[in-house]
Structure 1
């Protein structure tokens, strides 16, 4: 009898301890002065509120507005989520305490998207992250490589103009209706495919230069991955629920990754064989570079899986920001034609109308860049940056931030913060011009807006992303005049409920504005 009683007593004692911790833990954390936030339930925290208030990012911002706070703490499962809309606090996190908050969470979406943490952006701190970050910074996105791949980018800039021209050429006087979202997203997708695989299409494309079904599937998969990674999946906060996939995030993500792999893997596997057989002897693109990287002993630096993971990462990170920002910018400027006129006039002064704008011209286009920067400020692609995970307890702004917390800097909240920005919802590029006429850049080191992240987890592709954004924008507004479609007084600037895209893709009327011979030089 005693033998049975002892284990029972131990079990009861353990249960009492667990129950005590569950109910006392919030009180303990309160004494440590966590940032303000809603009261959650034991174990699950605010997951129920999250599930009942989709999309989650709008609920989080609503909670912060109701509490009149620029930093909050929302417990999801056992994770403290710390959203931040204050530029000053954002700088403390990413500058003063950068090393403390430079890791990433171990979660379902991150693990699947990175092939088990083999890439750079989603991989938690450690040797693998350092290795892949170095590969990106030194071998792929360096200024030298940027210069080397100049001609490939320009080929796609020419193809962008050719594609829009083809939408207009049947009626040069009346112009043609252009789906700007398709044009912008496919330009970005084409650039990165050209840089990685030295090819524009996985299929045959369309006669007018537009995307074929393969490219449409490809871009759709890219944005699906982005939506899940930036989303709030249940399994990302309570890992044992992953097996049930209640919200369908896991299945959707795996399908999108498989879609990219369907196009990537044959290219990668075939290229590796070409190098092994000696069929190929000269590096022409990013894939060649990755295959030929060697370690200190002369062995391949990267495994095949690492190459595949990194290529997915580069692809997903390149397409998103430029295409979304330029669609929004053009929509805003069509509704404010004086802004569009000023940007076009700047291009006429710098470039003229007898040739196309080139990358060498971009540094002189301060007003054009100010328009792009304003679009990044007011219309970010995602409501938050990728989470920064604390590797130890910290105090920020007088608040206790527990180890393991996920800090989310709000792109939406920083860029639209009424304490920082006058008329925050008004598209006003002039606010970014400097009195001394110095160069306008698309980044903001003071984190009053978040176009490209900074710090240890800062974006390694700022140069490429800035160049693509400005070139896409400059080519569109230099090569064509833009107006709302006939019988449409203004572009509808309604924001999608579920994300930060325009609710309806921008459909705009384009007309030629350069000398005819400029377009003819591009061919058909």
Structure 2
């Protein structure tokens, strides 16, 4: 046998072994993916989905386990539906899973996904979050903004009072939404949407943005369709973005020209832009005008729909169980008195109201699948391989209804929180409605105040009932934010002793 034959022989063996190993590794990796249902070519598991995706995934996970592979079209996702698996991802491997899987339309509205919610874990994200926590959500800032919250909540109670004396029913979610929007815009640039010249447009834009974000997008399911935008969702969002951007430019211009002189969040941001990079901090990043608009967008869109939906769900649950509503009103009457309006200083003295809110957020977390995570590298979780850049969805809606943890999990029962075991801090993975880890909701402290303050004011200022012949519909409507399928409309009746309290 000549040398060329021997050389060819050994190269063939080595190549064969190499191919065998590659195929074997690929098969091993596919076997090590979490289990999941049978997938159709191209469509994946779309044929299994129902309108309420979070509930559908919860049912399927009962068969395939707490870590499940699921293909939304061509996009592979990992569905997490147990406290143990959520803990392994969000605490033990927090750094690996700190990035986001970004929907196509979010890249448009969030200035190319450069905001707090969608931007990758890194120096710029840390800068944006630090600014929000320090300038807006710190105890000092929260205390300073108390008069603004008081003004907006009082204005809403006055508007509801006018409806009540005329026998007009109230869209509870809409009232809570405009209160939140007025408050956040007043905090941002010292003008509420109700009194500002841009008010009506702002309300319309936020509503359109939240709606488009919640629509399933073929461009996300089948990446090759992204360039065609077959549903027109990117074009719709682009129109919203252009109008938002123009409004922000006008608001910033007013501030820079001295037309708006109040010391507010926007002025603090502009001061940081002018200050530049902190040369003593090696990790310091320059804040730009784009970052300023990113933060304004985040605060407006992230603080309105979530808060108002939680208040609406709370009122719906209480109307369904009037004895719980009466007990909450009795607590308010004892602490506040019917000769006074609720103040923020009263909230710490309302433990029953607090456990009502906790139970509402257990049954109706604002983001049922949280914001999608994405591992920066391949990672082993629960004995399975999670490939790099796979979309990971934490089904907190399902976890917080786990019958192994919660007795009668579908029952609205605030008393289950009476021992104060659970809180919103994300440390207990049986209950984490605001998420957990480094990507936990930045506005948690403000959201808590606004929900408690709004709900307490609604319950203390009015008695509530359903219009004659109306039935309470508790169906959910899935989206990035969990909504009531049918808006809650209720009749208010004044409770306070003196009409001038509503002025």
Q: Counterparts of 1:279-318 in structure 2 under 5 Å?
A: 283-293=262-272, 294-296=275-277, 301-318=286-303
Query: C-alpha deviations, 1:56-91, integer Å up to 9, x for none?
Result: 4454334324x2522211234664311111112111
Kindly state the Cα deviation for residue 204 of structure 1 after the two structures are TM-superposed: 6.4
1:325 touches 1:376 (CA, 8 Å); kept in 2? yes
1:107 touches 1:239 (CA, 8 Å); kept in 2? no
Q: SS at the partner of 2:113?
A: coil
> Which residue in 2 is equivalent to 1:63?
60
Q: How far apart, in 2, do the equivalents of 1:423 and 1:511 lie? A: 33
Q: SS at the partner of 1:260?
A: helix
Q: 1:47 to 1:286 in 2, by over 3 A?
A: farther
> Which residue in 2 is equivalent to 1:257?
241
Which deviates further from its counterpart, 301-310 or 455-464?
301-310
Q: 1:45 to 1:397 in 2, by over 3 A?
A: farther
CA RMSD after TM alignment: 3.0
Q: How far apart, in 2, do the equivalents of 1:515 and 1:53 lie? A: 49
Q: How far apart, in 2, do the equivalents of 1:225 and 1:64 lie? A: 27
> Which residue in 2 is equivalent to 1:118?
114
Match of 2:44 among 30, 40, 46: 46
> Which residue in 2 is equivalent to 1:450?
432
2:342 touches 2:456 (CA, 8 Å); kept in 1? yes
2:54 touches 2:478 (CA, 8 Å); kept in 1? no
> Which residue in 2 is equivalent to 1:7?
none
Q: How far apart, in 2, do the equivalents of 1:20 and 1:177 lie? A: 71
How many residues are paired up? 478
> Which residue in 2 is equivalent to 1:30?
30
> Which residue in 2 is equivalent to 1:478?
460
TM-score if structure 1 supplies the norm length?
A: 0.83
Q: 1:78 to 1:215 in 2, by over 3 A?
A: closer
Kindly state the Cα deviation for residue 351 of structure 1 after the two structures are TM-superposed: 1.1
> Which residue in 2 is equivalent to 1:403?
388
> Which residue in 1 is equivalent to 2:144?
148
Kindly state the Cα deviation for residue 330 of structure 1 after the two structures are TM-superposed: 0.9
2:80 touches 2:393 (CA, 8 Å); kept in 1? yes
Q: How far apart, in 1, do the equivalents of 2:37 and 2:212 lie? A: 29
2:51 touches 2:478 (CA, 8 Å); kept in 1? no
Q: 1:222 to 1:241 in 2, by over 3 A?
A: closer
Q: How far apart, in 1, do the equivalents of 2:386 and 2:333 lie? A: 52
Query: C-alpha deviations, 1:425-476, integer Å up to 9, x for none?
Result: 1111111111xxx697445521323321221111111110100010010000
> Which residue in 2 is equivalent to 1:208?
none
Q: 1:41 to 1:334 in 2, by over 3 A?
A: closer
Q: 1:20 to 1:320 in 2, by over 3 A?
A: farther
Q: 1:24 to 1:213 in 2, by over 3 A?
A: farther
Q: 1:30 to 1:215 in 2, by over 3 A?
A: closer
Q: 1:169 to 1:265 in 2, by over 3 A?
A: farther
Query: Structure 1 regions of 5+ residues with no counterpart?
Result: 1-18, 206-210
Q: 1:145 to 1:245 in 2, by over 3 A?
A: same
